[in-house]
Amino acid sequence: MVTILWEYQVKADRIQEFEKIYASNGDWAELFQKGRGFLGTKLFHSLEHPQLYTTIDQWDSMKDYTTFLSQWKEEYEKLDTQCKGLTEHESYLGTFGTGLNDEE
């Protein structure tokens, strides 16, 4: 299994919209579901910093994720552009695996 982590500093007046789009049943999850091997996404917010959020996206393998990115590149970029105004900052935290077969 592969886990991809992102961190977001969300604009105070855009929190509700952000939560709707990035939720486990939001627009990103709907797009990811088009890809083989997508296991789910989770949205977390900081208890200390109300505008700080983290997403966790999980895939069966890195191959499934990279295949999704190539097949749905245009839709991914369109949604990413649409979401730019929701945040003050976003950071890719990394891609993490749980075993030796994550690349397959």
Q: Token digits for 26? A: 């939001």
Q: Is 48 exposed, middle or buried (0-12, 13-18, 19+ CB in 10 A)?
A: exposed
Domain containing residue 55: 1-60
Give the total number of structural domains in the chain: 1
pLDDT tens column, 32-91: 999 999 999 999 999 999 999 999 999 999 999 999 999 999 999 999 999 999 999 999
pLDDT at position 102, please?
A: 54
pLDDT at position 70, please?
A: 97
Residue 33 covered by a domain: yes
Cα–Cα distances (Å) from 39 to 20, 25, 30, 32, in that order, read 19, 12, 12, 9
Residue 80 covered by a domain: no
Residue 78 covered by a domain: no
Say how many C-beta atoms besides its own lie within 10 A of residue 59's C-beta: 26
Residue 54 covered by a domain: yes
Q: For position 36, which CATH number holds? A: 3.30.70
Residue 6 covered by a domain: yes
Residue 95 covered by a domain: no
Q: Token digits for 82? A: 């649409």
Residue 34 covered by a domain: yes
pTM of the predicted protein model:
0.90
Residue 52 covered by a domain: yes
Over range 90-99, report the average pLDDT. Answer: 91
pLDDT band at 3; cut points 50, 70, 90: very high
| Residues 6, 12, 16, 21, Cα dihedral to 10° | -30
pLDDT at position 101, please?
A: 60
Who has greater pLDDT, 56 or 97?
56
Q: How many CA atoms lie within 13 A of 29 on its CB side?
A: 17
